[in-house]
Amino acid sequence: MAKTAEQIRADLLRPLVRTSPAYWFAVAVAGSMVLAGVFAFSYQVYHGLGVWGLNWPVFWAFDITNFVFWIGISHAGTLISAILRLANASWRRPVTRCAEAITVFALSIGAIIPICHLGRPWLFFWLVPYPSERHIWPNFRSPLLWDFVAILTYLSGSSLFLLLPMIPDAGAARDLVKGWRKHLYSLMSLGWEGTPKQWHRLESAMHIMAIAIIPVAVSVHTIVSWDFAMTPVPGWHSTIFGPYFVVGAIFSGVAGLILAMALLRKFLHLEDYLEPIHFDHLGKLLLTFSLLWVYFTFAEHITAWYGNDVAEMNVLWATIRGPFAPLFWAMVFCNFIIPFPLLAIKRLRTITGTCIASCTIVIGMWLERFLIIVPTLETKFLPYSWGSYSPTWVEITLTVAGFGMMALLYLVFSKLVPMISMWELEAGVRKAPIYRRQAVHFEPQAATAKAGLAGAEPFATDVSR
């Protein structure tokens, strides 16, 4: 990275103070998707869950597919950022913040969906263990309650993990702007002055969070898989589900991260920061997880086939050669056959190549979740109770709204916070790894650096308080 600290600040703080018409257009599109979702949900609450395509016996479909999908997407950010920080991989520096933001936003969407999907959504707080007039605790034996606890833990942990490394950057931005933003950044910077003591504390906190968040992330998607695996139902009751879901989650999450990075690179003009090498490294990671995903999918299905249990076989045949066969083989194409050559051949592992692979993987992993849920429910034990499912406009609108909400949150975030951690990049420029004590030496200079921002106030130089 040949840029100086001053150039870095100028490039990364520019999107905070300059807003293009394209930005407002994107906000309008994403915002109307979210509003459509709000309308669909209100319509559902007013009329009842019957406006969805659900029926007897398919009681979960698009709702839980979207839930597992978004929780899965959330698994790239914090997990990868934590692993790369602990491994001190210096190419991580421009990647971490946009990855951590994906986690927090995807997890928020994933946490809202199960509330929307309830028959009586207004009573969701009955999952919270609080002393109530009903004198009943929630049922701690229920995997749904484990979900609630796990997602809440992961959401608070990954929010902290996102906010902590934002402190020095918020401190820098605070000194740049006026008005309501100044209050916001003052709050976010928590009185940051860049003293050696503060750097040391930040470094310790980041280290603790990086270690703590990894087992939390693994447990979250394991518990999501247990929503299925803990029932005696063919196609769900499987010991492989925990690791299978974790692998699938990281797989789809890395794909989501690559897409987000490509969009940021293009629209925020970060070509000098998010370089082909980053897409190359993440492409290799994606390749590894594509292979792992194929291995798990193969192991899952061949075990069911050799077991030859009547009920399991009905689900298996419905999935791979029955009514769901087109979706199943589309999934295999999207998750392996298309991405594998794109990611395995070095010449194809470009930004375009990894983006195409990521697109198909995001679609393929959405299909995977749908194919885990619906064929099983359509084909349970007693043939008399078999059924079929197709979605209504309400479910489709809510699905679209999920993507709109992700885009909207990301757009708003990119306007409030530099999408790349400035101080970490600067630490990289100075060849001073952040997890060593020397890191404290560059701070006074960094804090007083002047950014050549046209039309913006220069940084305040009074930081010696």
Partner 1 sequence: MTHKWAMVIDLDRCTGCEACVVACHAENNIGTAGADQAARGRAKHWIRVERYWEGEYPNAKLRFQPVLCQQCDDAPCEPVCPTYASYHTPEGLNAQVYNRCIGTRFCANACPYTVRFLNFYNPEWDKPLNLQLNPDVSVRSVGIMEKCTFCVQRIRSAEIQAESEKRELKDGEFNPACVQTCPPKAMVFGDLNDPNSEVSRLARSGRSTKLLGELGTRPNVNYLQQESGKNNG
Instruction: Give the residues lining the site for partner 1 (CB under 8 A).
Output: 47-50, 54-60, 114, 117-120, 123-124, 126-127, 134, 136, 138-139, 141-145, 148, 227, 230-233, 377, 380-385, 387
**Closest among 353, 338, 335 to 295, alpha carbons compared:** 335
Nearest-approach distance from CB 323 to partner 1, in angstroms: 15
* 57/243 with CB nearer partner 1: 57
**Closest among 76, 73, 100, 218 to 163, alpha carbons compared:** 100
Return the exposure string of 404-434: e unless at least 16 CB atoms fall within 10 Å of the residue's CB, then b: bbbbbbbbebbbebbbbbbbbbbbbbeeeeb
CA distance 162 to 321: 44
- Find the distance separating the first CA and the last CA of the chain, reported in whole Å: 31
Q: CB neighbours (10 Å) of residue 119?
A: 8
DSSP string for 185-201: HHHHHTT----HHHHHH
Distance of CA 53 to the CA centre of its chain: 27
Decide: 422 and 8 in contact? Cβ < 8 Å: yes
Give me 30's structure tokens.
């994403």
CA distance 381 to 367: 23
Element (DSSP H or E) covering residue 442: none
DSSP tag of 71: H
CA distance 322 to 51: 27
Instruction: Give Dmax over CA atoms of the chain in angstroms.
Output: 77
* 295/393 with CB nearer partner 1: 393
* 138/444 with CB nearer partner 1: 138
* 118/416 with CB nearer partner 1: 118
* 138/322 with CB nearer partner 1: 138
* 54/258 with CB nearer partner 1: 54
* 150/172 with CB nearer partner 1: 150
* 136/454 with CB nearer partner 1: 136
* 52/251 with CB nearer partner 1: 52
Return the exposure string of 57-73: e unless at least 16 CB atoms fall within 10 Å of the residue's CB, then b: bbebbbbbbbbbbbbbb
* 1/49 with CB nearer partner 1: 49
Give the up-direction half-sphere exposure of residue 296: CA atoms within 13 A in the CB hemisphere.
Answer: 21
Angle of helix 310-320 relative to helix 351-378, nearest 10 degrees?
140
Nearest-approach distance from CB 381 to partner 1, in angstroms: 5
Nearest-approach distance from CB 122 to partner 1, in angstroms: 9
* 118/240 with CB nearer partner 1: 118
CA distance 284 to 182: 41
**Residue ranges of E strands in 264-353:** none
Nearest-approach distance from CB 425 to partner 1, in angstroms: 45
Distance of CA 430 to the CA centre of its chain: 31
Nearest-approach distance from CB 75 to partner 1, in angstroms: 23
**SS3 letters for 93-110?**
CCCHHHHHHHHHHHHHHH
* 142/461 with CB nearer partner 1: 142
Give the up-direction half-sphere exposure of residue 160: CA atoms within 13 A in the CB hemisphere.
Answer: 14
